[in-house]
């Protein structure tokens, strides 16, 4: 029976292998990404990227909007219940506006996209691996990274920040509804307060985070799909793994970004 040291060693090697695979895939995809760009790239890849953008972005919009509105409402209610005691109910607007643009908008979007599209990437590529379609692509003189991965990366990099902006809007709107029902504050005035409480740096920080989250989701989803070995059960495992790993990595990355912005803001 293996001892603790052996288990720790094996796990470390396995995680290092995973990180190495992520790095290799990232560089090869960045190299292949040019093919998916409009005008300079291959029009078929660009068309595939647009289709992916619709799948990742437009199709996810209702879900992200609902998620953001519920969260905005919850945040406003929870904030109000405490701030009311100090006679600072108007700070709910700052809480919702800053909370969403800096944090909740990108994070909620990333979690929703990870569950919807990260798992879909892993399932699609994993199934193609099992059914020899990836091998078929190779022998047909296609580059699977350029053919499959690059459009997904590009689409995620465009769609996730757009969804984050939408999530910000719907989350803040929900806060506005709460303020309207609890204090009869008009929506127009509410949005004027919102604009005065957030600065461009908040929005840019949120967008930067969402770009990083998009990379993580596309990256992990595709890698999990490419690592599938065996039959259909392996595809199921890779799909679960894609969601779990990408959500975990998104939250870790968020913590790192928030810490960096916090210390940058303080100095």
Which residues here bind another protein, judged by CB under 8 A?
42, 44, 131-133, 135-136, 138-142
201 contact partners, CB below 8 Å, separation of at least 6: none
How far is Cα 190 from Cα 104, in angstroms, rounded to an integer? 19
CB of 152 to another protein, least distance (A): 14
Side-chain half-sphere exposure of 240, counting CA atoms within 13 A: 5
| Backbone region of residue 87 per phi and psi (left: phi > 0; alpha: psi in -120 to 50; beta: other values) | left
Q: Which of 207, 183, 204 is nearest to 193 (CA)?
A: 183
Nearest approach, Cβ of residue 135 and another protein (Å) = 6
Min CB(62)–another protein separation in Å: 24
Count of positions (residues) in the chain: 267
β strands within the chain, DSSP E: none
Residue 128 or residue 166: which is nearer to another protein going by CB? 128
Burial of residue 221, with CB atoms counted within 10 A of its CB: 0-12 exposed, 13-18 middle, 19 or more buried? buried
Nearer to another protein, 94 or 143 (CB): 143
| Nearest distance in Å: CB 8, another protein | 23
Residue 142 or 248 having the CB closest to another protein: 142
Least distance from C-beta 140 to another protein, angstroms?
5
């Amino acid at each position: 029976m293996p001892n603790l040291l052996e288990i720790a060693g094996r796990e470390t090697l396995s995680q290092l292998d995973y990180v190495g695979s992520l790095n290799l895939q990232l560089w090869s995809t960045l190299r292949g990404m040019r093919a998916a760009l409009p005008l300079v790239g291959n029009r078929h890849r660009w068309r595939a990227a647009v289709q992916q953008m619709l799948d990742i972005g437009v199709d996810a919009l209702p879900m992200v909007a609902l998620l953001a509105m519920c969260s905005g409402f919850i945040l406003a209610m929870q904030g109000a219940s405490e701030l009311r005691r100090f006679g600072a109910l108007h700070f709910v607007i700052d809480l919702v506006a800053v909370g969403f643009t800096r944090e909740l908008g990108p994070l909620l979007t990333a979690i929703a996209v990870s569950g919807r599209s990260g798992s879909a990437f892993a399932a699609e590529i994993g199934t193609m691996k099992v059914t020899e379609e990836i091998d078929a692509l190779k022998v047909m003189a296609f580059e699977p990274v350029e053919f499959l991965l690059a459009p997904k990366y590009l689409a995620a990099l465009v769609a996730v920040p757009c969804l984050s902006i939408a999530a910000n809007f719907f989350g803040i709107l929900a806060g506005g509804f709460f303020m309207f029902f609890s204090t009869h504050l008009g929506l127009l005035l509410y949005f004027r307060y919102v604009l005065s409480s957030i600065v461009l740096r908040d929005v840019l920080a949120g967008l930067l985070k969402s770009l990083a989250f998009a990379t993580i989701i596309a990256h992990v989803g595709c890698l999990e799909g490419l690592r599938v070995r065996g039959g259909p059960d392996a595809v199921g495992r890779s799909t679960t793994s894609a969601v779990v790993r990408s959500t975990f990595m998104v939250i870790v990355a968020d913590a790192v970004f928030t810490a960096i912005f916090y210390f940058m803001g303080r100095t």
